[in-house]
A and B are shown apart, each in its own frame.
Chain A
Amino acid sequence: MKPTSPLINLLEKFIHDPADAENNFALALYYNGIGQTASAVSYYIRTAERTDDDLLKYECLIKAARCFESQGTRSFSVKGLLQHAIALIPTRPEAYFFLSRLHEIEQKEGDWFVCYMLASTSLGVCNFDSPKLRTDVGYPGKYGLLFEKAVSSWWCGLCEESRTLFKDLLINHELDTTHRTAVLNNLKFFNEFNTKELILFNKEKHNQLKLKFTDSDKIEKNFSESYQDMFVLTMLNGKRNGTYLEIGAANPFYGNNTALLEQNYEWTGVSLDIDQQFVDAFAKERRNPCLLKDAALINYEKFLYGLDFPQNIDYLQLDCDPPNVTYKILLSMPFEKYKFAVITYEHDYYCDESKSFREKSRKYLESFGYVMVVGDIAPDEWRTYEDWWIHPELIDPAILEKMKITTTATKKAEDYMLGK
């Protein structure tokens, strides 16, 4: 005998007691699940009108609203149902989120202000520890409302609030891919990812250095964005005549990681960049060369061999955008033949949409015996972007012991280097 379909079973139960809210709800969920949203709406509304459970009523109103949303061009109906839901339980966040988002999407006159009002109100009045609904209604969590507030505040002219909210979302919330991408795009749009002013080391800060090194007192100022040059010299105790390979060189001095090594400590090495302007500037302003190359396409074993690099190289900088490119270059490094005493690796975790390349790079470097001295270095409090590594065979263990920290929090580079 052929088994009865689940829908027929549900219909039979319903027919025997059509006033029972659970029978209606089960049918609504089934129809919703197969995309028959009109049928689902019928049973959701019937459920909402037949149950004594306010939470179930609330859930059905949201589900029905989402059915209309999926049919498209029925936002007036969506709004009506969500307004019912808010009126029913004003302290739950889901309906506020969907209504706020709808106004964000519509962008008709005045919608930004309604969106902002709803998001702000919900963040003020809702209990975010409310009991869970029975089913997933598509509500992402509190960050969804923070996101709506962040977007709408910008268009309401509250730009600083918007920036602060977007940064908070990126740093303090586990976002889904859609929201993370949107947050990153907004922060890029605000130009928040670009360093506006470098926080440099200078002579006045010398006494605060966590670990002083040979001739560190003679350094007037450094050049790196986040003390990378000072870190390299610290780990190698101010080594002179060292060697480096700098991948992603950019400007010859401003924010550059090898200028101090070359200028104060007579290092030699090769820089690579894909931008002709930087290569030309290097040729004018620096002693060591910068080559115009796509760093992702180089056979590094042949490259290093051809340039007579020693097998133990003092410093490797890996800094290319976006994070997947830097990781690809890392994988092409000839670690079996060459060792690097110090590596600064830019994973750009803060803007990595996949959030995957930091972990991948760590596993890969560890597999070649490298030790992470400090992870999640940032130029400020939030842009977690680099890990700093050493090879233990090439570094004084006493220095490593003094500089190594294992906490997972974001570390502002200057605080780390000055021992704050």
Chain B
Amino acid sequence: MTNLAKFALDRGGSIHPLIIPSAQTNGTGLMNPSILIDNGKIIVNIRHVNYTFFHSEKKLFQHPWGPLTYLHPENDIHLRTDNYYCELNDDFEITRFNKIDTSKFDTYEPMWDFVGLEDVRLMRWDGKLYITGVRRDTTTNGQGRMELSEIVVSTNTVTEISRFRIPPPKDVNSYCEKNWMPILDMPFHYIKWTNPTEVVSVDPTTKTSKTEQLGDTIYLPRDIRGGSQVMEFNGNYIALTHEVDLFKSEVGRKDAVYKHRFIIWDKNWNIIKHTNDFSIMDAHVEFSIGMCKYHDDILITFGFQDNAAYLLKISAIELENFINSH
């Protein structure tokens, strides 16, 4: 399978680790970063979890719980997420990081095992900086809903000042809504689902959402799940999506391989191109929720096995070559 990072590096691109000091994190997973160029500044959100992901990709040294498992503290079954707002310099080094203060809204006892806002994407809509991701801790059955929160960056703090739990536009009883992809230049619009493409608008004021457009289904071997933000690219829209090959080992234990794909839409949200599936940096589980244009380059942020966070730089021209050749 093609390795996007190798393609990029062979063509003048670069790779950059995104690390919060372990004194802050106890060394557990830093993952699934999102990125945005915000008024010329490179900002990143890094997800920190209280667990360590364990994946015996070749099944040679499995955990007693199986080849793929999330190793949380044994005295706390919750899989907890915190989010770190970061600013980067031109060498893509973190110059500032702050754990986002969510205390204004985290006033309840979490009711399910997954706690916190997961896989946060960054965007600035109508002049306000937002984070959006899925939260599953408000009900006892783990119902997942996308949430949209405004954050304010001050000199020494980053604070969540509003929180909107987005109702699904149609099936209000759906179990888990996640990985909706915010459209960077269309405030309060997401690609909720890729194939068929479903564009939804959300309204924090009326606390509603609405399907604006539903496209045709095209043939693809697997469900295309959400990934990065959706951004303008050469007169069209692009996003980096993921798909999951979920299976069980011979003894019935969960395992998975994630693959990735660039999807190109025209301005009317018709899928006009997609790449073949590929790996980002060779791990069986990787996940990208960040992509932005920076000068002549595209910056892609991704998590590696839920345990490490990286930024990959590839020139816009080479990304186009990749899309055309894959």
> Which residues of A are at the interface with B, using a C-beta cutoff of 8 A?
2, 7-8, 11-12, 14-16, 18-19, 31, 34-42, 45-46, 48-50, 57, 61, 67-68, 70-77, 80-81, 84
Contact = CB atoms under 8 A, between A and B. Distances in A.
Contacts of B6: 15-16
B19 interface: yes
A48 B59 CA distance: 11
Nearest to B14: A8
Q: How large is the interface on B (under 10, 10 to 19, 20 to 34, 35 or more residues)?
A: 35 or more
A41 B54 contact: yes
A84 B61 contact: yes
Interface string B11-47: 0001111010111001111100000000000000000
Contacts of B91: 2
Nearest to B72: A74
B86 to A, nearest CB: 15
A70 B281 CA distance: 27
B308 A39 contact: yes
A36 B30 contact: yes
Given A7-B17, A12-B15, A72-B73, A38 B28 contact: yes
B58 A15 contact: no
Given A37-B52, A41-B307, A49 B63 contact: no
A60 to B, nearest CB: 9
A397 to B, nearest CB: 65
B52 A73 contact: no
A18 B30 contact: no
A37 B55 contact: no
A38 B63 contact: no
9 contacts: A11-B17, A35-B23, A38-B29, A41-B54, A42-B55, A42-B305, A45-B55, A72-B73, A80-B63
A19 B17 CA distance: 19
Given A34-B22, A38-B28, A42-B305, A18 B3 contact: yes
B82 to A, nearest CB: 14
B27 A73 contact: no
B304 interface: yes
A18 B15 contact: no
Contacts of B19: 34, 36
B118 to A, nearest CB: 16
Nearest to B48: A38
B60 interface: yes
B52 A68 contact: yes
Given A18-B281, A42-B308, A36 B27 contact: yes
A48 B60 CA distance: 8
A34 B21 CA distance: 8
Contacts of B282: 15, 18-19
A34 B308 CA distance: 13
A137 to B, nearest CB: 16
B75 interface: yes
A73 B75 contact: yes
Which A-B residue pairs are the 10 nearest by beta carbons?
A35-B22, A37-B27, A18-B282, A38-B307, A39-B308, A73-B73, A49-B58, A38-B52, A38-B29, A42-B307
A36 B22 contact: yes
A70 B23 CA distance: 12
A107 to B, nearest CB: 15
A81 B64 CA distance: 9
A38 B308 contact: yes
A71 B310 CA distance: 22
A49 B58 CA distance: 6
A32 to B, nearest CB: 9
